Amino acid sequence: MEIIKEASPHIRRRDSLNRMMVDLLIGLSPVLVFAFAVYQLAAVRNLFVSVGAMVAAEFVYVLIVNRLPKDGKKHSLGEKLRYGASHYRLSNFLVPTVSGLLYGLITPACFASVWTGSYWAVANPYNPLTDGYAYFVLIAGALFGLVVGKLVFGGTGHNIFNPAAAGFIFAKECFGSRYRVANYFDVYFNNITDVQTGGTFLNGSYSASASYSNYSLLDLLLGRTPGLMGEVCKVAILIGLAYLLIRHTIDWRITLSFLGTFVFLMFFAGLVVNSKDASIGVFPFVGYQLLSGGVLFGAVYMITDPVTSPMTSPSRVLYGTIIASSTVLIRLLGRSDYVKEGMCFSILLGNMVSPALDYYKWSTSKFTVKNLIPMVVIPLVALAVILWALGVSLPIVSSGSGSSSAGGSSASGSTSSGTDASAGGTTKAVIAGLPFLRGWL
Amino acid sequence: MILKTRAIKDHKLQLGGIPTEKVAVPDFLFLATNNARCAAAEVTIPVGAHVNLGEPIGIRHAAYFDQPIHATASGTFVGLEKHYHRSGKIVDFIKIQNDFKDTLDPSIHDRTDAEIAQLTRADMAEILKEDSLVGLGGSSFPTYVKFQTSRPIKTILLNGIECEPFITADQRLLLEDPADLIAGIKLLQQAFSCRDARICVKAKHRDIFALYAKVLAAYPNSGITIVPVGNFYPQGWEIAMIKSATGISVPVGHLPSEYGIANFNVSTAAGVYLAVKHRMPVYERYVSVCGDGIVSPKNFSVRVGTPVKFLIDRCGGYKNPEIPKVFILGGPMMGASLPSDDCILTKTVTSVIVMNERTYSEEPCIRCGSCVLSCPVGIQPVQIMNAMRQTPVDKDKVKALNPLLCIECGLCTYCCTSMIPLLEYVRRAKIVAKLP
């Protein structure tokens, strides 16, 4: 019998990277089920292509970094490939699969194959059912996300940016006009094929039935809105969150500090908005902000990515507050249509500061008075900026031009008819400024 | 998992419920000459001489103390033989052929109660020094040194926690030998002129609390209490134990006596009684033999100096001998792994664990932070690992990360999601941090 000498400790926790990734897949499954059920083949197509692109990129990366050591002999190509492939492990498949799913879930159901006009003004009609589909947008984003977002830094565990967020920003910035959230939703849900009126919801020429202000908080919660495939159904995201927390796959500190700071800042912003226009309640305001766009999806699946978040508890809390402050600032004060949603840029901003939060002279593993200071100061500075900006310059929205073209129901109202103009133009204007249904940006 | 490790799962190998089996004394006993704390030793009797149980037959020399070696059986001194010591080194062992008579040395006779009542702290320190009592929880720290403090002691803590999984030696002592333990505690109370003595036991051991509710009722006003402490690891670390039992936080690097606390293992307290009352050195101890590489794990009460193989044979030998084994003396978290089963039980071996070898595939660190969350001293093992992986190693950075605070509890490696042996990096970092 052989006796092996090894260093202590001699037992390990039942745990592994693969287990964590499988848990993430299970945590994503409610969102995936929703996407498959609602968007059907479009979801299958988007997810399959983005996962396939990322897994393939990772496989090529494994072949590149594991080359046969030079021993003076000639090796055939097959031999070289077999040597590289022998270093391919299960985690090389699971990790890019998770990244690919995350990326695929924040794509719209269709990418227009034709140039449909600028982001805010539709030039060409586009029908997702009959017109072509721009695969290259999807694949370009996926490859950029994995290669530039992760592999160039050295693969799993070494990346600075979240691959899914990096890929999304790339695709959106380069091919933004091809993101056609509205059309697809209209076609499938409202049976509207009048794609002349497609485009964004925030501008003049939308069809009344597709107006965001026709959606109640319940609609937002259940996902009965247009939007990017994964982020619309908040119930599915919350189920995923519960599973991930039970399995300790994500750190609750990040999610909690993010959501806490977000609600805190939005509450005070809501107070200001309410004082200017009493028809907008504070709590509906906060509710719409929380349940619209990618806030919950980002808070559950994206900012909690352990590789791109800091390592100690105080740093993680600070990380959540930084991302939340940035998101709120961009959402409320961003003048450009492109940055209205704010979540994805905030994630990348948080990813950028996280190495600084881990700087060895600053990071401590226990909460001290000293490291509580930035956690309090950063949201308070953001709050001061928001209060000042909102107080000085209402209307806070830049899309007032389109706001009067159709009536909207009140923010919290459940509605089926877009012709109810009881809430009046101001409500519309303020709500219109909020990027409820715009997806990530 | 991103999770702080508290309790360590026992993997259904816990032996707490199994009564101790007293094994016969083997034909040959082996007594270590030098050990981890004592670099040199000499044997004071000639080969072939007859020895009695409890007779001093040699002296170990350490930096600032000498420690007599006592025979743990009567018989004949055969010679020196090399075996593995629990520290992992091969050292000379004094081989004694047992004559199975257990003749007591003439120096061993009981002290009367009147004599004991006269003893002061200094007297007891002298007695414990002669009987070479050391910390029996595994530290092998000479007990008399703790008696030499001149600081006032307000609380005596008896460590019966055994926070490491699998080990049950102290648990069996608490259950099976309460009389000796309480007699030992009374001597400690007398030595430190301190009434408050607390036995610390994990809250989950309900059988021990039920027993001591009865036992302590027989000693009213003795000042001895039993306190439940946390079930987590490393609760048995003295700073964690003091914090749980008294609420006092002792900073790392300070002695508990500075805060009016003296702490002893429960086996050590029983050893104090043996030494003071019977003038007898520790010659027997409780050992648990367990692990998934053993056919039938058991608790034993054995003579110090018994070869481990002797005990493993009593357990039915190795299970699945075709699988490579890891052979551990001490707990699975901090115990030393030996390259051979040819080793000897010394006073401070609490358990023998034989586990089937497990291999773990190391993945890249995903910065989950479980090691940072779990670390009981609040350092950041993952940062230390990253600093040690740099080439060249940035010495100032390593020093700033305080690896010297590490108590080598092993939690960082235990909880690593990517199966990285973090403790190895921290051990290396400790060496780097000590460089000028």
ipTM of the complex: 0.89
Nearest residue in chain B measured CA to CA from A90: B363
pLDDT attached to residue B21: 86
- Domain carrying residue B420: 370-434
- Answer yes or no: are the C-beta atoms of A423 and A398 closer than 8 Å: no
Cross-strand pairs, B41? B60
- Answer yes or no: are the C-beta atoms of B315 and B15 closer than 8 Å: no
Q: Are residues B154 and B121 in the same domain?
A: yes
Site from A3, A246, A359 to mutate, B interface, most B CB atoms within 10 angstroms:
A3
Nearest residue in chain A measured CA to CA from B321: A1
Helical (H) or strand (E) element with B298: strand B298-303
**For residue B141, what are its two tokens?**
């720290």
- DSSP assignment string, A141-166: HHHIIIIITTGGGTSTTT-SS-HHHH
Cβ-Cβ pairs closer than 8 A, A with B, add up to 158
Cis peptide before A30 (omega within 30 of 0): no
In one-letter notation, the amino acid at residue B59 is I
In one-letter notation, the amino acid at residue A257 is S
Judge whether A439 lies within some domain: no
CB contact under 8 A, A248 and B326: no
pLDDT attached to residue B173: 92
Put simply, the chain B residues between 8 and 67 with a CB less than 8 A from any chain A CB are 8-9, 11
CB contact under 8 A, B363 and A363: no
Residue A427 pLDDT > 50, yes or no? no
Number of domains in chain A: 1
For B185, residues 6+ apart whose C-beta sits below 8 A from its C-beta are: B156, B158, B197, B199, B224, B269
Closest-CA residue to A246 (of B374, B365, B2, B7)? B2
Whole-number average pLDDT of chain B? 90
- Measured between alpha carbons, how far is B39 from B91 in angstroms, rounded to an integer? 10
For A48, residues 6+ apart whose C-beta sits below 8 A from its C-beta are: none
Confidence of residue A273 (pLDDT cuts 50, 70, 90): confident
pLDDT attached to residue A206: 29
- Cβ of residue B124 closer than 8 Å to a chain A Cβ: no
pLDDT attached to residue A281: 80
Residue A178 pLDDT > 90, yes or no? no
- Cβ of residue B433 closer than 8 Å to a chain A Cβ: no
Contacts of A4 in chain B (CB under 8 A): 324-326, 337, 357
Q: Are residues B259 and B333 in the same domain?
A: no
pTM of the model: 0.87
Q: Which of B325, B387, B417 sits opposite A16 (nearest CB)?
A: B417
Q: Are residues B212 and B295 in the same domain?
A: no
Q: Are residues B259 and B207 in the same domain?
A: yes
pLDDT attached to residue A134: 78
- DSSP assignment string, B244-274: HHH---PPTTS-GGGGTEEEEEHHHHHHHHH
- Cβ of residue B415 closer than 8 Å to a chain A Cβ: yes
pLDDT attached to residue A200: 31
Judge whether B32 lies within some domain: yes
Number of domains in chain B: 3
Judge whether A437 lies within some domain: no
**Burial group, residue A158, by CB count within 10 angstroms (0-12, 13-18, 19+):** middle
**For residue A182, what are its two tokens?**
């509205």
Q: How far is CA A409 from CA A108, B22, B345, in A?
A: 26, 84, 82
**For residue A302, what are its two tokens?**
């994206």
- Measured between alpha carbons, how far is A430 from A289 in angstroms, rounded to an integer? 12
Closest-CA residue to A70 (of A82, A61, A60, A80)? A80
- DSSP assignment string, A18-67: HHHHHHHHHHHHHHHHHHHHHHTHHHHHHHHHHHHHHHHHHHHHHHHHSP
pLDDT attached to residue B328: 92
Q: What is the pLDDT of residues A299-339, one digit of tens each?
A: 999 999 999 999 999 999 999 999 999 998 888 876 554 44
Last residue of a domain, one of B222, B253, B278: B278
Q: Which residue has the higher pLDDT, A99 or B108?
A: A99
Q: What is the pLDDT of residues B279-291, one digit of tens each?
A: 999 999 999 998 8
- Measured between alpha carbons, how far is A418 from A433 in angstroms, rounded to an integer? 18
Q: What is the pLDDT of residues A193-248, one digit of tens each?
A: 333 332 333 322 223 333 345 667 887 888 777 777 888 889 999 999 999 999 99
Cross-strand pairs, A159? none
**Burial group, residue B150, by CB count within 10 angstroms (0-12, 13-18, 19+):** exposed
B291: left (phi over 0), alpha (psi -120 to 50) or beta: left
**Burial group, residue A66, by CB count within 10 angstroms (0-12, 13-18, 19+):** middle
Judge whether A154 lies within some domain: yes
Q: How far is CA B123 from CA B68, B190, B191, B276, in A?
A: 17, 11, 9, 10
Judge whether A30 lies within some domain: yes
- Answer yes or no: are the C-beta atoms of B352 and A4 closer than 8 Å: no
Q: What is the pLDDT of residues A53-95, one digit of tens each?
A: 999 999 999 999 998 888 888 888 999 899 999 999 999 999 9
Helical (H) or strand (E) element with B80: strand B75-84
Helical (H) or strand (E) element with A170: helix A163-175
**For residue A184, what are its two tokens?**
């697809």
Judge whether A10 lies within some domain: no
- Cβ of residue B383 closer than 8 Å to a chain A Cβ: yes
Q: What is the pLDDT of residues B170-221, one digit of tens each?
A: 989 999 999 999 999 999 999 999 999 999 999 988 999 999 999 999 988 8
Judge whether A3 lies within some domain: no
- Cβ of residue B337 closer than 8 Å to a chain A Cβ: yes
Q: Are residues B125 and B262 in the same domain?
A: yes
CB contact under 8 A, A3 and B325: yes
Cross-strand pairs, A122? A117
- Answer yes or no: are the C-beta atoms of B70 and B43 closer than 8 Å: no
Residue A295 pLDDT > 70, yes or no? yes
Confidence of residue A180 (pLDDT cuts 50, 70, 90): low
- Answer yes or no: are the C-beta atoms of A262 and A290 closer than 8 Å: yes
Q: Are residues B255 and B178 in the same domain?
A: yes
Judge whether A440 lies within some domain: no
Closest-CA residue to A336 (of A64, A118, A101)? A118
Q: Are residues B396 and B377 in the same domain?
A: yes
Closest-CA residue to B332 (of B9, B3, B90, B5)? B9
Confidence of residue B35 (pLDDT cuts 50, 70, 90): confident
- Measured between alpha carbons, how far is A222 from B151 in angstroms, rounded to an integer? 68
pLDDT attached to residue A203: 29
Last residue of a domain, one of B278, B296, B320: B278
Could you tell me the CATH number of the domain that includes residue B209?
A: 3.40.50.11540
Q: How far is CA B244 from CA B47, B163, B228, in A?
A: 51, 13, 9
Q: Which residue has the higher pLDDT, B188 or A340?
A: B188
Our CA dihedral for B72, B77, B83, B87, rounded to 10 degrees, sits at 40
- Answer yes or no: are the C-beta atoms of A249 and A24 closer than 8 Å: yes
Residue B370 pLDDT > 90, yes or no? yes
- Measured between alpha carbons, how far is B269 from B275 in angstroms, rounded to an integer? 10
pLDDT attached to residue A184: 52
pLDDT attached to residue B256: 92
Q: Are residues B123 and B147 in the same domain?
A: yes
- Measured between alpha carbons, how far is B329 from B85 in angstroms, rounded to an integer? 10
Judge whether A7 lies within some domain: no
pLDDT attached to residue A343: 86
Q: Are residues B212 and B136 in the same domain?
A: yes
Last residue of a domain, one of B309, B334, B356: B356
Q: Are residues B128 and B78 in the same domain?
A: no
Least confident piece of the model among A416-425, B16-25, B60-69: A416-425
Q: What is the nearest CA distance from B200 to chain A, expressed in angstroms?
A: 25
Q: What is the pLDDT of residues B319-346, one digit of tens each?
A: 888 999 999 998 899 988 999 989 999 9
pLDDT attached to residue A132: 65
β-strands B66-70, B75-84 pairing: unpaired
Confidence of residue A280 (pLDDT cuts 50, 70, 90): confident
Q: Are residues B121 and B102 in the same domain?
A: no
Q: What is the pLDDT of residues B106-154, one digit of tens each?
A: 888 899 999 999 999 999 999 999 888 988 887 788 899 889 888 899 9
pLDDT attached to residue B88: 83
Confidence of residue A249 (pLDDT cuts 50, 70, 90): very high
- Domain carrying residue A197: 17-68+76-432
Judge whether B10 lies within some domain: no
Least confident piece of the model among A354-358, B85-89, B130-134: B85-89
Residue A148 pLDDT > 90, yes or no? yes
Q: How far is CA B360 from CA A10, B74, B123, in A?
A: 11, 47, 53
- Cβ of residue B193 closer than 8 Å to a chain A Cβ: no
Output the CA angle B22-B23-B25, nearest 5 degrees: 125
Q: Measured on CA atoms in the order B339, B345, B346, B347, is the torsion positive or negative?
A: positive
- Measured between alpha carbons, how far is B34 from A194 in angstroms, rounded to an integer? 92
Q: Are residues B125 and B229 in the same domain?
A: yes
- Cβ of residue B346 closer than 8 Å to a chain A Cβ: no
CB contact under 8 A, B378 and A366: yes
CB contact under 8 A, B339 and A5: yes
Residue B232 pLDDT > 70, yes or no? yes
Q: What are phi and psi of B91, to 5 degrees?
A: -130, 165
CB contact under 8 A, A156 and B366: yes
pLDDT attached to residue A70: 83
Judge whether B7 lies within some domain: no
Other CB atoms within 10 A of residue A157 CB: 19
Judge whether B5 lies within some domain: no
